[in-house]
């Protein structure tokens, strides 16, 4: 199945959506927003978990010259349908809602129940990788190499040292393109990439101080990176489907080392409030964690959290699959 055919299917699926379908996409957007707020978790990971990754990439690719011509000629409805506008808008609103919710939920859990929260995400990743296993032949050497490359990329990012110094506007443009590209890749955290590039604190201060020039330059880089990298992903998914999913599975598996619940801090950075935040850490055994950190490992709760994450993904997958089968006669995804 080629790219245009799959995109047309996604487009047809969202020309006439029911309130239930809209609510489903909105809820997936919330999950992506919550995921983006957690260090080591990306919105791309959540998109894979909820089964909308390819639809998202194909829809972003429809923001093109054809859409521009339709808009400039006053064909608003055709342009909206061309770019799968309903899907993208609902997802965007959901992501923003998730980011707002994270201020009191995910951040509270990060501060007070770090190990169970990371364990829950490990359960999500394990179950998602298990479900994606059918997308590729695991005995093919090329697919296994793609899996290995994904694991090495995600694991290797965590070993890099953060950059320092005052970034220039050209560098901020580059940082925006790289960060947004990482964000739509499963297993890579855009916020963490900004930390490594030395632009996280700069952009945080720019947002708080409403430095419009820096914000505009960074946002322009994000738009360029999103449109360019999504087209690369779309081409890879269409022409190298099994290799692409092998790489995605590798990214997910590699993220397990980043999500390990028991970590000992190695280096820090100071945020805009003057508070030290962990930049790099090393994974330790839960049996040694209490001695090293002075905090209880919460091993039993963490194991339950892994099971809860696995159960949630498998349950959602079954629910989405049943919904898809029920709506297939009406052309719904």
- HEC assignment per residue over 40-81: CCCHHHHHHHCCCHHHHHHHHHCCCHHHHHHHHCCCHHHHHH
Does residue 302 carry a pLDDT above 90? yes
Per DSSP, helices labelled H in the chain are 3-13, 19-36, 43-49, 53-61, 65-72, 76-82, 85-102, 106-112, 114-132, 141-157, 169-183, 190-197, 200-208, 212-239, 241-258, 286-293, 299-327
Euclidean distance between CA atoms 145 and 1, whole angstroms: 24
For residue 276, the cross-strand partners are: 270
Rounded Cα distance, 180 and 219, in Å: 10
Please say whether the dihedral angle defined by the alpha carbons of residues 168, 63, 41 and 136, taken in this order, is positive or negative.
negative
Residue 161 belongs to what H/E stretch?
Answer: none
Residue 285 backbone dihedrals phi, psi, to 5 degrees: -70, 140
Please measure the distance between the N-terminal and C-terminal CA atoms of the chain and give it in whole angstroms: 16
Residue 278 has what pLDDT? 66
pLDDT tens-digit profile of 35-85? 776 655 667 777 877 778 888 888 888 888 888 888 888 888 888 888 888
**Which of the four pLDDT bands, split at 50, 70 and 90, describes residue 166?**
low
Least confidently predicted of 4-18, 126-140, 178-192, 316-330: 4-18
CB 333 within 8 A of CB 10: yes
> CB-based contacts of 170: which residues, under 8 Å, 6+ apart?
none
Beta bridge partners of 282: 264
**Residue 163 in contact with residue 197, Cβ under 8 Å?**
yes
Partner residues linked to 263 by β-bridges: 283
- Whether 13 shows a pLDDT value over 70: the answer reads no
What pLDDT, on a 0 to 100 scale, did the predictor assign at position 106?
66
Query: pLDDT higher for 200 or 303?
Result: 303
Please tell me the least confidently modeled range out of 198-202, 272-276, 314-318.
272-276
* pLDDT tier, 245 (very low <50, low <70, confident <90, very high otherwise): confident
Percent of the chain with pLDDT over 70: 75
């Amino acid at each position: 199945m080629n790219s245009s055919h799959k995109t047309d299917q996604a487009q047809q699926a969202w020309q006439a959506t029911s309130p239930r379908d809209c609510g489903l996409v909105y809820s997936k957007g919330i999950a992506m927003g919550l995921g983006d707020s957690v260090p080591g978790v990306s919105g791309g990971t959540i998109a894979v978990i909820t089964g909308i990754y390819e639809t998202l990439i194909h829809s972003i690719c429809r923001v093109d010259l054809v859409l521009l011509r339709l808009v400039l000629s006053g064909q608003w409805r055709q342009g909206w349908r061309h770019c799968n506008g309903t899907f993208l808008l609902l997802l965007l609103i959901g992501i923003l809602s998730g980011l707002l919710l994270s201020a009191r939920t995910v951040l509270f859990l990060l501060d007070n129940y770090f190990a169970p929260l990371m364990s829950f995400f490990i359960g999500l990743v394990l179950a998602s990788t298990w479900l994606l296993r059918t997308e590729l032949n695991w005995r093919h050497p090329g697919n296994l190499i793609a899996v290995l490359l994904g694991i090495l990329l995600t694991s290797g990012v965590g070993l890099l040292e953060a950059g320092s110094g005052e970034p220039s506007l050209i560098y901020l443009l580059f940082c925006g393109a790289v960060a947004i590209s990482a964000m739509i890749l499963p297993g890579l955290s855009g916020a963490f990439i900004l930390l490594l590039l030395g632009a996280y604190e700069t952009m945080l201060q720019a947002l708080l101080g409403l430095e419009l020039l820096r914000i505009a330059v960074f946002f322009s880089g994000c738009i360029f990176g999103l449109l360019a990298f999504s087209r690369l992903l779309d081409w890879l998914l269409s022409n190298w489907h099994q290799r692409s999913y092998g790489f995605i599975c590798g990214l997910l598996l590699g993220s397990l080392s980043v999500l390990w619940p028991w970590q000992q801090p190695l280096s820090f950075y100071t945020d805009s409030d003057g508070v030290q935040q962990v930049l790099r850490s090393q994974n330790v055994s839960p049996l040694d964690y209490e001695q090293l950190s002075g905090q209880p490992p919460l091993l039993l709760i963490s194991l339950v959290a892994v099971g809860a994450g696995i159960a949630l993904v498998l349950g959602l997958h079954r629910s989405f699959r049943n919904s898809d089968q029920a709506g297939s006669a009406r052309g719904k995804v």
